[in-house]
Every structure is written in C-alpha cells, then in structure tokens.
Structure 1
Amino acid sequence: MKKMFQGFKDFIMRGNVVDLAVGVVIGAAFTAVVTTLTEGFLKPLIQVISGGSGVEAGTFKINKVPFDYASFINAVITFLLTAAVLYFLVVYPLNVLAERRRRGEEPPPKSPSEEVKLLTEIRDALVAQAQAGHGAQPQGNVYGSAVDDILQRRQEPPR
C-alpha cells in the first residue's frame, strides 16, 4: 500500500500532470477572452464588411433558410488565436525545458550542507565501531568513544 502511494506521489510530482492542469486552466481562461474579442469585435466587423446591417448581416439565405457564415468565420478565428497563444506561451516553453533536461543543461542539485556531511561521517564512524566491536562487550559509552574518535580526542590510558 505504501509503495502504491509513493508511486502516485512520484506520478503527480513528475510534472506532466501539473503541466496538463495548468494548460487546461490557462486554455479555458484564454478561450473566454478570445471568444469575447471575436464575438464582440470581429463578428460585427465581418458583418459590416459583408455589406449587411441588422439581424441578417453576415448571413445568406437559401430557400429562406439563413446560413450564418460570420459565426463560422468567428469560430475559426477564435480557435486559431487560442491554439497559437497556447502553443507559444505553454507548449513551446515546456518543450524547450524538456530538451534542456535531456541534454543535461539543468543545474545540478545542491550538494549537502556541511552539517549533513558531518552527521554522515559521525553515523559512518558509529556503524564502523559497532561492527568492529560486534563480538566483544563494549566498555564504557560506545557513542562517546566514537565522537572522541571523530574529533580526534584521545584518552590517556590510566597509570
């Protein structure tokens, strides 16, 4: 069960899911902006350019059935603007970042701090001392003597 949750955490933190979520949210928000622009400005412009006025502008009729070509042109423009912005502001930068990762240009992770290095040395010395004295009974404080060894403090033998 723990391994399953770790796998899920790794999947979520990998970045693909986060990138996808960001793309969907940005895409939805930007689509609303582009739709408002095209319906509020471009569609009326198309209707005026096509020579129409009023409700029937931007349409033509066949057998008294209206065909709204201005709405179609508007939808195509909305799609192209949304796709272009998503590509240049989301997809392209993520592809560049992925390519840098593949080439190894991403900065290397920070090295451990001096405190972590010192603690690692202490741990290793304690493990080595425990393994060396594994068959014999320890005399005194095992941990104190390991710390003394690391700090190079030697106790004088009793006289």
Structure 2
Amino acid sequence: MLNGFKEFIMKGNVVDLAVAVIMGAAFSAVVTALVQNVLMPLISLIAGQPNFDSFLVFGPVKIGVFLTAAVNFLIIASTIYFVIVMPMNHLIERRNRKLGIKEEADGETVDPQIALLTEIRDSLQARQN
C-alpha cells in the first residue's frame, strides 16, 4: 500500500504540478505587489482615486468594487502575458529555429528526426505496394 503511494507521489506529473502551484503562489505575490503598488497608483493619477470602489454605489449594490476587481484582473492578465508569455514564446521559437524544429500550419511542432522517419516509412510502404 505504501509502495503504491510512493510511486504516485514520485511520478513526474505530481511533482511538476506541486512545483507549479508553489511557483504560482510565489509569483502571485509579485504580481499583486506590482498591481497594487505600481499600476493602480498610476491609474489613480488618471482617475483620481486608487480604486473604483466608491463609484456606482446603489445602496448595498457596489458596482465599483466589481470594476476594481475587473481592472485588477485585466492588469494581472496583461502583465503575465507581456512579461512571461510573450518572452517565453520568443525564447521557444528561437530554440526551435536553432534546433531545426518547424511548426506546421495546425500549430504542432515537428521534430526533424520524426519527419525524416515518417518520410522513410512512407517510402518503404510505397516500395512494398
């Protein structure tokens, strides 16, 4: 019973997921600090307030709080995209070009060795027929 548990815990997927969750939590603090201490004060210079919480208050309904959360989400999403996703895509593209890995029209990458093996297989099948 313990061996099965040990095998489950030591699988690459579980360890990778655990590392991703920990890194996400650590990175969340960085992004939150950036949004709250850098970007929202810049927005407050434009809008006059550091958040929209006091905008559109109708009794217990506080639409401004939702607007603040939506703006925070958009800022966080754009920050992650422009600071992490775009540079990583660029680095992956550079690495693939260096290794000779091409991307097909459907977005899948094709390893040159696999392409060559597929071509050899198809050629052998054509000879047999």
Normalising by structure 2, report the TM-score.
0.48
Report 1 or 2 for greater relative contact order, CA contacts < 8 Å, sequence distance ≥ 6.
1
In proportion to residue count, which structure has more helix?
A: 2
Normalising by structure 1, report the TM-score.
0.41
Larger Rg: 1
